[in-house]
A and B are shown apart, each in its own frame.
Chain A
Amino acid sequence: MKKIKQSITVLFIFLFSFSLVGFKRIHSQQSTASSSAQEEKKIDQLKEKIASKVAEIQNENNFGVSGYIDNIKNNLISINNDIGETYQIKTDEVITNYYQVINNRRQEIEPNEIQKGDFIIATGIIDGNQVEANNIYKDENFLIQTGQVIEINKDEYWIKVNTLEKEAVILDIETYTKKFLLNIKDYQFESVGFSKIKEGDSTIFVIKKTNNKQINRASAIKMIIIPQEFFLK
């Protein structure tokens, strides 16, 4: 009887220690599997972070140039911008794509559809005033200026503005011209008619620019009128 009891005790001890070893093994295998999964997850997260950072840096350092075409010769386009800078744009028959900006999107065009006097945007590798163009976009250019209203012609619907550069510009007010008056109490814009414009008011105006020449008369696309009362202390 004693022997049986002893052997049972030994058996229990043996089973207990065996189960302990087994449990440990399974547990260590599970923890190794879970830790490797966690590591993989971390690596994926790191990869994503690096990719988004690279994209961010690329976006932050992606520049373009624009201006009016002065000359096209072989694979070289010369452009001048509004502030008198000149860029030499090198094009490649295979690499360079040509587009036109129409209705807030781009449309592919043929290289011969761009001509002297056109306003273009060039993107690609920029080194000083040399550009190796990947893409060329034919677009429209606009001019935004400010000045004081010095004359109003109510018969012919034009106003004369003396700009900050001390140049007199006649603005034709068309049916499509958007006119906003600044409400000096709540600083909101109100859509107004021609009659609300007064001599002495300030204006910010937008006109279309067709070339690099000085503009003395143009149709206004948009006007913001700042009443002279705003400037009275």
Chain B
Amino acid sequence: MKKESLVAVIFGLLFGGLFYLVLTNANFFKSEQKNFNKELAQKNIQLSPSPVKKIENTIQTLIIDQPKNQLVVNKNLITIKGKAPKKSLVIIQSPSSEKIFENQKESFEVEFPLSYGANQIVIFSYLKGVQTPLLKKLTIYYLENKL
């Protein structure tokens, strides 16, 4: 065999080997990618939220957004803002005043009079047919308070 032929064969083997390696690695990466995709898909299935149960489209709790408990005010009237179940009977009671209304929407906003000093206010929400009301207690101070 001529020297040139030998060199050509060696180079051929080398290139062939390299080509083989490239091909096999490509398959390996492809299969890895496939596995990864599979895992990801499974994870996604696990992470996706469970189907939300359809509940009645109204809140079943009593929330008072305003005023904050233990607030000091310098007016004899306060706005009470909150949320209560629709159609519930809302009674707001303090030692000096009371207010009653049927909650037409979820949110409500009412003006409530205050007496001078500490005002214990309890907000009740009665659902028809349920004797135990939802309730929230507030203490609001109506004072001429200078900072």
Taking CB atoms and an 8 Å cut-off, the chain A residues in 46-90 that contact chain B are 58-60, 62-66
CB distance B89 to A187 under 8 Å?
yes
Contact residues in B for A230 (Cβ distance below 8 Å):
89, 126, 128
Residue A177 lies at the interface, judged by CB distance under 8 Å to chain B:
no
**In the complex, what residue of chain B is closest to A123 when comparing beta carbons?**
B145
A-B contact pairs, 21 of them (CB 8 A): A60-B68, A62-B72, A62-B145, A63-B68, A65-B70, A66-B70, A101-B117, A101-B118, A106-B143, A106-B144, A119-B118, A123-B72, A140-B117, A146-B135, A164-B135, A180-B98, A187-B89, A204-B122, A221-B95, A222-B93, A233-B128
Q: Which of B100, B117, B147 contacts A58 (CB 8 A)?
A: B147
The verdict on A91 contacting chain B, using a C-beta distance below 8 Å, is no
Residues of B within 8 A of A137 (CB): 117-118, 143
Interface residues on A, range: 35 or more
Whether A176 is near chain B, meaning CB under 8 Å from some CB there, is no
State whether the Cβ of A215 lies closer than 8 Å to any Cβ in chain B: no
B120 close to A141 (CB less than 8 A): yes
Residue of A nearest to B131 (CB): A231
* Chain B interface category by residue count: 35 or more
Residues A121 and B100 in contact, CB atoms below 8 Å apart: no
A189 touches B70 (CB 8 A): no
Chain A positions within 8 Å of B146 at CB level: 134
Q: A104-B115, A121-B117 are in contact. Are A189 and B143 (CB under 8 A)?
A: no
Most chain A beta carbons < 10 A, residue from B135, B146, B147? B147
Knowing A139-B118, A144-B94, say if A187 contacts B101 (CB, 8 Å): yes
- Indicate if the CB atoms of A202 and B145 lie closer than 8 Å: no
Map CB proximity to A onto B104-147 as digits: 1 under 8 Å, 0 otherwise.
00000000000111101110101011111101010101011111
User: Are A144 and B126 in contact (CB-based, < 8 A)?
Assistant: no
- A6 on interface, CB distance cutoff 8 Å: no
Which listed residue, B73, B91, B137, touches A204 by the CB 8 Å rule? B91
Does B71 sit at the interface, judged by CB under 8 A?
yes
Beta-carbon contact of A232 and B129 below 8 Å: yes
Is B39 in the interface zone, CB < 8 Å from A? no
Q: Write out the residue numbers on chain A whose beta carbons fall within 8 Å of the beta carbon of B132.
A: 164
**Residues of B that sit less than 8 Å from A by CB:** 68, 70-74, 89, 91, 93-95, 98, 100-102, 115-118, 120-122, 124, 126, 128-133, 135, 137, 139, 141, 143-147
- Complex formed: what's the CA distance from A106 to B144 in Å? 9
Chain A residues engaging chain B, CB cutoff 8 angstroms: 58-60, 62-66, 101, 104-106, 119, 121, 123, 134-135, 137, 139-144, 146, 148, 164, 180, 182, 187-189, 202, 204, 206, 221-222, 224, 226, 230-233
Q: Can you name the residue of chain B whose Cβ is closest to the Cβ of A221? A: B95
The answer to whether B129 touches A222 (Cβ under 8 A) is no
Instruction: List 10 A-B pairs, minimum CB-CB distance, nearest first.
Output: A101-B117, A142-B95, A233-B129, A139-B117, A62-B72, A144-B122, A104-B116, A64-B141, A64-B72, A63-B70
